[in-house]
A and B are shown apart, each in its own frame.
Chain A
């Protein structure tokens, strides 16, 4: 990684390239724009030559870690390899050049992509209804909760509570709040799984839905999932499955069997689309037949088969919760996911889950003597370790994470789920070789033997050391100049 790179605004020199055909001697008033609507001078944007700009961003990229540069075992993020063939295909004019509001003959290819992807997600989940309109997992969740609320209202009820386990992802309660729903928590049992008795106590006639992640955020399969679903259904609630952890079950299990009614997928997790430094991802909602009418609109329909297929956007959906976005979701991300689904196929997808689970358990076993798993049961695609031994040594999960950066590994997720002290959550994914996992385990063990003072001041080898987040929050500087 490289040393400090000035800001664009500090770099400004030279003149920008002539891409936009600056019109010489343009009299803007003659263009029919009223003078009082115009700025008094050019916008305060720096002028930088193309070479200087390319150098700037290239140098910035070299101050970043990605899956492409190193092992990136963030729990529940599924940082698997992002195949480059998908990038190639997403860059083709048949993807990039298509306007979302063109007529049907011009968009058949795009609609076919959406339809084919939805069909595959339907088969993978076992749910007949699918929407690819959500831009992300959190938006899928929001859409799903709206669908659930409308479903109940149509049946003459308006329950306003959502039950979540105490290990739930933060988006679950935040999405509930946007739907005017309150959240009730169920504590996990001593085995790290949903406590069915606790669930029975918390459910009431005011429960609209039970939201679960399976495998849960501890990386463990909720073996009581079907029972939990029955208990929720008996109380009149629907069951929503947060599909962030699909990498553990794709092709080996189907969410519909466990009694869920609706779920979401994160295409940027299980289906290999790149994380892009924080987005764009893409979400998908999949649901049972009774919930299908409520899906965001429009949906994509197909008539005919094979070469005679024709696709159209169906807006006549009176029960739909409406639009979540202006157009059709993150289409070019869906293109990447479809390419991945074609490439892996039915056999490849099952292999993904098997090897993801293999890799996580391998790491769990090798680290067991150093950092014990938080709970004794078998792991699925990720494992949560209890780092309290770090505190006993005078360090912390945070220090371990920072020191791993010096050893050339991106840190795992830390301090989540909140119920595990000094939690360290590792999700290797199936695209990592055993050699990489061995090297990671050696690094963790080596760090555990290092001087706590070195850990406490880590990282030392990165372009900057630990940053003053307190100052950043107390005296926010959010633009340049401040």
Chain B
């Protein structure tokens, strides 16, 4: 029996102590109609070797590409090798939530360091110890702003990743909020045309946005503030190595996902959402929060604090229903950023931006291809092709093993010819040149010259 250490004698002895005739006898008080009269209709257990073989067979059914320029919320970056070793240590991996603080100072200190790093990167006062991921983190921020202001309307930029918008819609459906789009021009919010009413709880913007473009965030935040609304910024931690922080440009709440600096792509999860906000909003923030304190001998220690916000105490009046955080992924972020340091983070961001601009230059030089937007961008950009992006992507993958980006139509209907390209520091100039070359070749084959 896998992982069950009892010998037959152990079982006999224990049953005798309990006074039960058999293992099945332990279930005799359960009505027979509820007990399975047959085994589960699943294959029998396997040895470890066979399990590994079978998992390998299942997992390797897909054919991965050689080179991928896909982004759109899941980003390929280098993670220092030591991060996996640290996260694999049994004391972190197999611990529970640190409710017994004295036996969990390791985890608690890591979360405190995580919170500090998130505050420093976002330029805001307080952070929690992580949420599930980017979409639900945004939903939680919208709900938080509504509860803090009592106002029902939410203004959302059209440049927010449609996947995140979808989660916000799901989470807020039964809460009586009105979700509206903000005016857009050339891929970003038309801040001049923006005029939030006094019934708006939050103005929500992603920066850089889903198209890679930099939004006019300072103007947006100013308009929000003038109307008494909160500004929610959805941000990516990598660009924060170079860009002004949300706190600096006027956000009241900043959310996002630490995935680019914490977790490999893993088909979408586990990632870890983050949330930081201004001090006045701390008691409305969902999720676990760690605080610093002392013990009876004056030694510094860390504890879960402000727990009365949470479900296990406040139940239906809690700030959210969230129970787990994504602790291990938060640990991975903390370790990764510790090793990258300020210069590493700035360097990583700069490398991504430089290579992406190189790629944009080469690709937009291909006849018939143009950049979709004129707004400045960070490390993602949208190109409009002369033919359907899906067709071009299929050809590039089949011929050259390259994924040139995410066809926009997969996430935004009506954008069949558009492709969202992302370039990170995992690539180099030769890769970018190959991307442009193969894209041009696939376009020619598709007869896509205009």
The verdict on A343 contacting B46 (CB below 8 Å), with A68-B91, A278-B96 known, is yes
Contact of B293 among A42, A278, A467 (CB under 8 A): A467
B101-153 with Cβ < 8 A to chain A: 101-107, 109-110, 112-113, 115-117, 119-121, 125-127, 129-130, 132-136, 143
* New contact pairs (18) apart from A63-B106, A276-B92, CB-CB < 8 Å: A18-B347, A50-B82, A57-B89, A63-B105, A65-B91, A66-B93, A109-B59, A113-B59, A135-B269, A139-B136, A277-B327, A347-B39, A351-B1, A355-B23, A361-B18, A402-B100, A459-B102, A479-B119
Contact indicator B103/A105 (Cβ below 8 Å): no
Say yes or no for B384: interface residue by CB 8 A criterion: no
Q: How far is the CA of A347 from the CA of B282 in the complex (A)?
A: 49
Contact of B166 among A99, A251, A322 (CB under 8 A): A322
A-B contact count (CB 8 A): 690
A172 nearest in chain B by CB position: B315
Contact indicator B403/A362 (Cβ below 8 Å): no
5 intermolecular pairs with C-beta atoms under 8 Å apart: A95-B266, A123-B40, A329-B269, A342-B46, A358-B15
Write the nearest CB–CB distance from B284 to chain A, whole angstroms: 14
Taking CB atoms, residues of chain A closer than 8 Å to B68 are 99, 102
Say yes or no for B97: interface residue by CB 8 A criterion: yes
Contact indicator A328/B303 (Cβ below 8 Å): no
The verdict on A100 contacting B59 (CB below 8 Å), with A324-B167, A472-B293 known, is no
Contact indicator A91/B133 (Cβ below 8 Å): no
Contact of B17 among A277, A329, A365 (CB under 8 A): A365
Write the nearest CB–CB distance from A256 to chain B, whole angstroms: 10
From B49-57, B225-233, B432-440, the one touching the partner chain is B49-57
B303-356 with Cβ < 8 A to chain A: 303, 305-308, 310-318, 320-329, 331, 334-335, 337-348, 350-351, 353-354
Contact indicator A327/B55 (Cβ below 8 Å): no
From B72-80, B178-186, B190-198, B362-370, the one touching the partner chain is B72-80
The verdict on A31 contacting B353 (CB below 8 Å), with A80-B3, A326-B163 known, is yes
Say yes or no for A468: interface residue by CB 8 A criterion: yes
Q: How far is the CA of A61 from the CA of B268 in the complex (A)?
A: 27
Contact indicator A50/B339 (Cβ below 8 Å): yes
Q: How far is the CA of A170 from the CA of B310 in the complex (A)?
A: 9
Taking CB atoms, residues of chain B closer than 8 Å to A62 are 91, 106
Contact indicator A81/B3 (Cβ below 8 Å): yes
Taking CB atoms, residues of chain B closer than 8 Å to A473 are 291, 305-308
Say yes or no for B241: interface residue by CB 8 A criterion: yes
* B 372-414 to A, binary, CB cutoff 8 A, 1 in contact else 0: 0000111000000000000001100100000100100011000
* A 73-86 to B, binary, CB cutoff 8 A, 1 in contact else 0: 01001011111010
Contact indicator A332/B339 (Cβ below 8 Å): no
A30 nearest in chain B by CB position: B354
Write the nearest CB–CB distance from A124 to chain B, whole angstroms: 6
For the side of the interface on A, what is the size category? 35 or more
B1-58 with Cβ < 8 A to chain A: 1-6, 10-11, 13-15, 17-20, 23-24, 26-27, 29-31, 33-36, 39-46, 48, 51-52, 54-56, 58
Say yes or no for B449: interface residue by CB 8 A criterion: no
Contact indicator B59/A94 (Cβ below 8 Å): yes
Write the nearest CB–CB distance from B43 to chain A, whole angstroms: 6
Say yes or no for A202: interface residue by CB 8 A criterion: no
Say yes or no for B447: interface residue by CB 8 A criterion: no
Q: How far is the CA of A258 from the CA of B62 in the complex (A)?
A: 39
Taking CB atoms, residues of chain A closer than 8 Å to B48 are 85, 343
Taking CB atoms, residues of chain B closer than 8 Å to A65 are 91, 95, 100, 103-104
Taking CB atoms, residues of chain A closer than 8 Å to B130 are 279
Taking CB atoms, residues of chain B closer than 8 Å to A105 are 62-63, 397
The verdict on A171 contacting B321 (CB below 8 Å), with A45-B341, A278-B107, A402-B102 known, is yes
The verdict on A472 contacting B291 (CB below 8 Å), with A96-B266, A100-B268, A177-B316 known, is yes
Contact indicator B44/A180 (Cβ below 8 Å): no
Q: How far is the CA of A146 from the CA of B425 in the complex (A)?
A: 41
Contact indicator A464/B120 (Cβ below 8 Å): no
Taking CB atoms, residues of chain B closer than 8 Å to A106 are 62-65, 397, 403
Taking CB atoms, residues of chain A closer than 8 Å to B127 are 478-479
Q: How far is the CA of A66 from the CA of B107 in the complex (A)?
A: 11
Contact of A277 among B312, B331, B346 (CB under 8 A): B331
Contact indicator B267/A323 (Cβ below 8 Å): no
Contact of A279 among B73, B327, B343 (CB under 8 A): B327
Contact indicator A67/B175 (Cβ below 8 Å): no
Write the nearest CB–CB distance from A55 to chain B, whole angstroms: 10
Max chain A CB contacts within 10 Å: which of B73, B93, B94, B376? B94
A224 nearest in chain B by CB position: B31
Contact indicator A31/B265 (Cβ below 8 Å): no
Taking CB atoms, residues of chain A closer than 8 Å to B242 are 28, 33, 38-39
Taking CB atoms, residues of chain A closer than 8 Å to B214 are 33-34, 37
* B 408-442 to A, binary, CB cutoff 8 A, 1 in contact else 0: 00110000000000000100000000000000000
Q: How far is the CA of A103 from the CA of B120 in the complex (A)?
A: 37
Q: How far is the CA of A236 from the CA of B406 in the complex (A)?
A: 46
Contact of B5 among A96, A183, A346, A433 (CB under 8 A): A433
B300 nearest in chain A by CB position: A4
Write the nearest CB–CB distance from B255 to chain A, whole angstroms: 12
Q: How far is the CA of A44 from the CA of B102 in the complex (A)?
A: 30
B89 nearest in chain A by CB position: A61
Max chain B CB contacts within 10 Å: which of A42, A149, A327? A327
Say yes or no for B292: interface residue by CB 8 A criterion: yes
Contact indicator A338/B321 (Cβ below 8 Å): no
Say yes or no for A405: interface residue by CB 8 A criterion: yes
Taking CB atoms, residues of chain A closer than 8 Å to B302 are 467
Q: How far is the CA of A120 from the CA of B45 in the complex (A)?
A: 13
Contact of B29 among A31, A37, A342, A378 (CB under 8 A): A378
The verdict on A331 contacting B40 (CB below 8 Å), with A280-B324, A362-B14 known, is no
The verdict on A351 contacting B4 (CB below 8 Å), with A22-B347, A62-B106, A326-B73 known, is yes
- Top-4 shortest CB links A-B: A327-B268, A16-B341, A68-B90, A345-B45
The verdict on A476 contacting B6 (CB below 8 Å), with A277-B96, A277-B97, A350-B39 known, is no
Q: How far is the CA of A76 from the CA of B320 in the complex (A)?
A: 21
Max chain A CB contacts within 10 Å: which of B35, B166, B340? B340
* A 426-442 to B, binary, CB cutoff 8 A, 1 in contact else 0: 00001111100000000
Write the nearest CB–CB distance from A120 to chain B, whole angstroms: 6
Contact indicator A362/B176 (Cβ below 8 Å): no
A261-280 with Cβ < 8 A to chain B: 268, 272, 274-280
Q: How far is the CA of A17 from the CA of B94 in the complex (A)?
A: 29
Say yes or no for B448: interface residue by CB 8 A criterion: no
* A 1-19 to B, binary, CB cutoff 8 A, 1 in contact else 0: 1001101110000011111
Taking CB atoms, residues of chain A closer than 8 Å to B85 are 54
Taking CB atoms, residues of chain A closer than 8 Å to B158 are none
Taking CB atoms, residues of chain A closer than 8 Å to B96 are 72, 74, 77, 79, 275, 277-278, 410
Write the nearest CB–CB distance from B192 to chain A, whole angstroms: 17
Say yes or no for A141: interface residue by CB 8 A criterion: yes
Contact indicator A434/B93 (Cβ below 8 Å): no
A80-123 with Cβ < 8 A to chain B: 80-83, 85, 87-89, 91-103, 105-110, 112-113, 116, 120, 123
Write the nearest CB–CB distance from B447 to chain A, whole angstroms: 21
Taking CB atoms, residues of chain B closer than 8 Å to A107 are 62, 267
Write the nearest CB–CB distance from A448 to chain B, whole angstroms: 19
The verdict on A101 contacting B74 (CB below 8 Å), with A45-B120, A69-B90, A116-B58 known, is yes
Say yes or no for A234: interface residue by CB 8 A criterion: no
Contact indicator B295/A478 (Cβ below 8 Å): no
Contact indicator B80/A42 (Cβ below 8 Å): no
